[in-house]
């Protein structure tokens, strides 16, 4: 059974379904919508055939007015990956310090480990620092690793875990990633918890299965003390660094499904509060349309985060969400 995408209302359909229950989340989401008289096959071409939700009856009705499903603050992270030199990072920091950023956004950048100190001491304190990885337990004889304690010591507040490059290039699995997340959270570091399907998963109709399995690993591996410090980053692997961004509808469909998963498996409160951000070829040109989607609570940005003014545009795309709401 396919789910409604925002394109239904965008296409101007006058129909709406009585079989759909009203929105459930407590954010700015609309509380009611017009009825779909005939949820016919006419509408089905608008659905992404690769995506499946377990039950249409649990889905929300329509999104003629786009609002924010979650109650969390918009969150934008810049993942600098293994890029930069002292010189280029000095320039990037200076551009970020000069940029006018909307105040109601949590902004985080993740420099390579070796530049964290430089960035921390020169970047405006309105932007927090994230690491791109952390060791799974207390530090010690682990050559080449960086511990959570060291990251906290140097002023980092966040760590990106489960990034597709660590899963698919370095070979980290769900169990290891889940343990790392539990350790970091227990030590008080926020976790940007990445998940996302490969192209072959999507083509096989397994997008939701893969994302739910990866999400579950953060939740069930070890004691997660609280969901307050987890931001979920949905990053379809086929969209990362490829220039092939997911359409706003494709991203929204997965984000809505992830929020439903949190609702069913954790709690209504966690589903509402947890930021679910999108990553994969986000740039200054496509961020506004993505930000309008009600379950997209921000972005994790790779390539475009290396350009200060463009990253600022992405941070400030929160304004399209506010206008749309
Ligand atoms: P990209 O990377 O924006 O360059 O696609 C996103 C990410 O890997 O977090």
Give the model confidence (pLDDT) of 163-186 as tens digits.
999 999 999 999 999 999 999 999
Q: Are 261 and 237 in contact (CB under 8 A)?
A: no
Look at the pTM and tell me if it is higher than 0.75. Answer: yes
Report residue 242: phi and psi, to 5°.
Answer: -105, -15
pLDDT one-digit tens code per residue, 203-235: 999 999 999 999 999 876 566 778 899 999 999
> Is 255 in the active site?
no
pLDDT one-digit tens code per residue, 241-251: 999 999 999 99
pLDDT of 190 > 60? The answer is: yes
Ligand 1 atom closest to 239 (CA): 5
Residue closest via CA to ligand 1's atom 3 equals 302
Spell out the alpha helix ranges (H) of the chain.
7-10, 41-44, 86-98, 113-122, 148-153, 164-165, 174-186, 199-203, 207-220, 248-265, 268-273, 287-291, 308-315, 318-324
Residue closest via CA to ligand 1's atom 6 equals 302
> Is 45 in the active site?
no
The residue that leads in pLDDT, 12 or 101, is: 101
Arithmetic mean of pLDDT, 312-318: 98
Q: In the predicted model, what is the mean pLDDT of the chain?
A: 82
Residue positions counted in the chain = 325
Structure tokens at 137: 């337990």
Which candidate in 165, 172, 235, 253 is catalytic?
A: 235
**DSSP of 143-159, one letter per residue?**
TT---HHHHHHTT--EE
Q: Are 63 and 12 in contact (CB under 8 A)?
A: no
Give the model's pLDDT for residue 323: 78
Distance, in Å, from the CA atom of 116 to the CA atom of 264, rounded to the nearest integer, reads 38
Give the model's pLDDT for residue 319: 96
Give the model's pLDDT for residue 91: 98
Ligand 1 centroid from CA 91, angstroms: 21
Residue closest via CA to ligand 1's atom 2 equals 302
Instruction: Find out whether the beta carbon of 248 lies less than 6 Å from any atom of ligand 1.
Output: no
Beta strand ranges found along the chain (DSSP E):
74-79, 105-110, 127-131, 158-161, 190-195, 230-234, 276-279, 298-301
């Amino acid at each position: 059974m396919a789910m409604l995408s925002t394109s239904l209302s965008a296409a101007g359909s006058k129909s709406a379904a009585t079989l759909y229950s009203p929105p459930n989340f407590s954010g700015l989401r609309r509380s009611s919508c017009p009825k779909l008289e005939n949820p016919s096959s006419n509408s089905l071409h608008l659905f992404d055939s690769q995506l499946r939700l377990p039950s249409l009856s649990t889905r929300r009705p329509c999104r003629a007015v786009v609002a924010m499903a979650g109650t969390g603050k918009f969150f934008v992270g810049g993942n600098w990956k293994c890029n930069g030199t002292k010189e280029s990072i000095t320039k990037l920091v200076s551009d970020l310090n000069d940029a006018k950023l909307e105040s109601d956004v949590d902004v985080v950048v993740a420099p390579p480990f070796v530049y964290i100190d430089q960035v921390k001491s020169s970047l405006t304190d309105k932007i927090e620092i994230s690491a791109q990885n952390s060791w799974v337990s207390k530090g010690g004889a682990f050559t080449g690793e960086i511990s959570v304690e060291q990251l906290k010591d140097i002023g980092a507040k966040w760590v990106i875990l489960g990034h597709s490059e660590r899963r698919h290039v370095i070979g980290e699995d769900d169990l290891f990633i889940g343990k790392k997340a539990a350790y970091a959270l227990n030590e008080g570091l926020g976790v940007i918890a990445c998940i996302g399907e490969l192209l072959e998963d999507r083509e096989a109709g397994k997008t939701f299965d893969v994302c739910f399995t990866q999400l579950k690993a953060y939740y069930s591996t070890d004691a997660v003390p609280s969901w307050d410090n987890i931001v979920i980053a949905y990053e379809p692997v086929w969209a990362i660094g490829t220039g092939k961004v997911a359409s706003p509808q494709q991203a929204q469909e997965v984000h809505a499904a992830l929020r439903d998963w949190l609702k069913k498996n954790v709690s209504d409160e966690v589903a509402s509060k947890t930021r679910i951000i999108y990553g994969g070829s986000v740039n200054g040109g496509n961020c506004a349309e993505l930000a309008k989607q009600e379950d997209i609570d921000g972005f994790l940005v790779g390539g475009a985060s290396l350009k200060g003014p463009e990253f600022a545009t992405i941070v400030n795309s929160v304004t399209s969400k506010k206008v749309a709401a």
